[in-house]
Amino acid sequence: MSIWFTEELHPYYRKGIHIKKILADEQTQFQHVQFVETEFFGKAMILDGIIQLTERDNMGYHEMIVHVPMLAVGKPKRVLIVGGGDGGSLQQVLRYPSVEEAVVCELDQRVVDLSREHFASFGDPWVDPRAKLLVRDAFGFLEENPGQFDVIISDTTDPIGMAERLFSDEFYRLAVRALTPGGAAATQCEQPFFDTDLIKTIYQAARKLVRNPAYYYANIPTYPGGGIGFMYVSDTPWEKGLNAPFPPGLNNYINPEVHKAAFALPEFFRKELYG
């Protein structure tokens, strides 16, 4: 079997990966979920036609979205993951011995079930007694839990359809309200070339909520533009994490140099964002 999966981001931009086998293909209550075996990237999960992760390059995404806020906070105890039903962020969060509870607020139970079946490489983090899955919408949960979480990770798909609200000012307001004092959030925050205006809007919203928001970036070959950025949202400066020890078991993407360099932005984008 030989198929090219093509993700069309805009009428003027597409990217493709070569697929060897389709492992699962179903329309859930919420979205079109596909798991595929690729030629080069191992297994991949695709939601509504958008590549979410592959076994080979997900580490840049999950390590950076999780460890940057976790290291800045120091010894986080309670962590909330919004989305993240594939378990990749959860695996990283649970590396910290300080974590007592990691709540994953995921809308689609099928994403969790199929990921457990196909992503054995994540080591089934759900069996850890500290992991707690809530199959529900994150908005209501955030509303009900002010001041509860040391770290919040918004590990979402792109701002299309039901995920659009997770990129709104209101979501950021609720997420910051759900943080403990000095807590930190990191959110999936799209691609500087393609999503400049959205990122600027989010940064402006974050500036009204916290003292030290900042944008950072990771290389992910299977995402549009070859990478994706994250919004760090906290009163605690991200630089505080540069002196913190990494948790055990990290040897794939983040290191002290990558951690620091991720916040260096290309000049066209730095000017757009920070003026």
> Catalytic residues, which ones?
155
Least distance (Å) between residue 258 CB and ligand SPD: 19
Residues in CB range of 185: below 8 A, 6 or more apart? 69, 151, 152, 153, 154, 175, 176, 179, 231, 232, 233, 234
CA distance 207 to 235: 10
CB of 147 to ligand SPD, least distance (A): 26
- Interface residues with ligand SPD (CB under 6 A) are 50, 52-53, 61, 84, 86, 88-89, 155-158, 188, 223-224, 228
We find the least distance from the C-beta atom of residue 215 to ligand SPD, in angstroms, to be 15
Which of the 8 DSSP states describes residue 187? Answer: E
Angle at the Cα of 249 (from 189 to 51), degrees rounded to 5? 35
Tell me how far, at minimum, the Cβ of 188 lies from ligand SPD, in Å. Answer: 5
What are the strands, taking DSSP E only, across 136-213? 149-155, 179-188
> Which amino acid is located at 150 in the chain?
D
**CB-nearer residue toward ligand SPD: 87 or 236:** 87
Q: What are phi and psi of 181, to 5 degrees?
A: -60, 130
Q: What does the alpha-carbon distance between residue 196 and residue 64 come to, in Å, rounded to a whole number?
A: 20
Q: How many angstroms separate the CA atoms of 120 and 23, rounded?
A: 14
Nearer to ligand SPD, 73 or 104 (CB): 104
Phi, psi torsion values for 250, nearest 5 degrees: -95, 115
Query: What is the 3-state composition of the chain as percent helix, strand, coil, each rounded to the nearest 5?
Result: 35, 30, 30
Q: Compute the least distance from the CB of residue 190 to ligand SPD, in Å.
A: 7
Strands (E), 55-207: 78-83, 101-106, 131-135, 149-155, 179-188
Question: Least distance to ligand SPD from the beta carbon of 44, Å?
Answer: 11
Nearer Cβ to ligand SPD (61/149): 61
Count Cβ atoms below 10 Å from residue 117 Cβ, excluding itself. 11
The nearer residue to ligand SPD, 28 or 212, going by C-beta atoms, is: 28
Nearer to ligand SPD, 163 or 236 (CB): 163
Contact call for residues 20 and 37 (beta carbons, < 8 A)? yes
Taking the least distance from each CB to ligand SPD, the nearer of 8 and 239 is 8
